[in-house]
Structure 1
Amino acid sequence: MSDMLLNNLCEVFNSKLVNRRDKPIITCLEFIREYLMKRVCNVMKVIKKCTGPLTPTGERLLQENISSASQYTARCNGVSKYQVKGSWHDQHVMDMAQMTCSCRKWELTGMPYKHGIASINEMADSGEKVGELCTYVHKVYWIETSKSMYSFVVDPIKGRSMWHKSDCPTTLTPPPHHKQLGRLKKKKDVDC
């Protein structure tokens, strides 16, 4: 569930590896292990500082949507659907029983969007019990989910000189080299 078009976690990870890809495999794997160990530790420090039920990112997104929802009005159809109108004459249909909207933002992000928040506000004004707004947020934005995701730590290991020597009699050799097909690329001479 994300409204991002890119997988940012993979992008960040790849950007960390860009200067290490040409290193030997053991050196590259050691860098990845140390990076992950540091990353998990940093995230756990942030989680310990959180006081609310949502992660800092979840709280920020929810507050942005709450401020945007003030520009919308919702009208109930008598059951569980709401017609939500904005100041720019945009109009959407909210189904609170299914927690879906015609804009599909809530379904895509897992976060109640401005149309949903306007509908929840209308429900509260009508005297319905709506509970806390954070209960409408998908569990992916909850601190408890982050705690369980980062409960697994990467353990430190001994230095390379203390590693167990393999008893495997096989020696690893590089793969055989074969000449590439096609025309050879020539270096262009630059005249000064």
Structure 2
Amino acid sequence: MKQNPRHWHKAYFNTHPKCDIIDKNLTETFNGWILQARTKAIISMLDEMRVAIMRRVRENREYADKWSEEIAPRVMKKLNDNKKESEVVNGVDRHTVILHDKRCSCREWDLKGYPVHM
């Protein structure tokens, strides 16, 4: 408690950045993903990275086009799993999820920015 909770507690996090990863795993994952490209000359490396990123964006777009719901399948699964686990005995910790507004009283939706298919 030497540090002000505003610097480390989710209750105080800004909801504008939409990512629930608060460590360097994302960077490590990306570095591992481009490992082979990093051994090439700069222009070749950048071109290979560009093509790989474009391929990933295309694959993600094709995946999103197949969604049958407005909410992303993995997010819907997580929401349904959390619903099953969210039976609160005393009601003190009950949170409300407002699907229409894409937010919840625990602020998890605001903090993570769960994607919805547009």
TM-score past 0.5 threshold: yes
Aligned to 1:160: none
Distance 1:3 1:131 in 2: 19
Aligned to 2:57: 40
Distance 1:134 1:73 in 2: 27
Give 3-state SS (helix, strand or coil) of 2:39's partner: coil
Selected match of 2:80 from 55, 60, 63: 63
Residue 15 of structure 1 pairs with residue 32 of structure 2: yes
Coordinate RMSD, CA, aligned: 2.8
The structure number with the bigger radius of gyration is 1
Q: Which runs of 4+ in 1 moved over 6 A?
A: none
Deviations 1:83-114 (A, max 9, x none): 13xxxxxxxxxxxxxxxxxxxxxxxxxxxxxx
Distance 2:63 2:48 in 1: 23
- Answer yes or no: is the 8 Å Cα contact 1:53–1:134 preserved in 2: no
- Answer yes or no: is the 8 Å Cα contact 2:72–2:116 preserved in 1: yes
Q: Greater share of helix residues, 1 or 2?
A: 2
- Give the gaps of 5 or more residues in structure 2: 1-17
- Answer yes or no: is the 8 Å Cα contact 1:20–1:28 preserved in 2: yes
TM-score relative to the length of structure 1: 0.41
Residue 143 of structure 1 pairs with residue 110 of structure 2: no
- Give the gaps of 5 or more residues in structure 1: 76-82, 85-114, 121-129, 148-192
| Alpha-carbon spacing, 1:135–1:3, altered in 2? closer, same or farther (3 Å) | closer
Q: Residue 77 of structure 2 aligns to which amino acid in structure 1? A: R
Distance 1:38 1:30 in 2: 12
Displacement of 1:53 after TM fit? 2.1
Selected match of 2:43 from 15, 20, 26: 26
Displacement of 1:52 after TM fit? 1.6
Q: Residue 143 of structure 1 aligns to which amino acid in structure 2? A: V
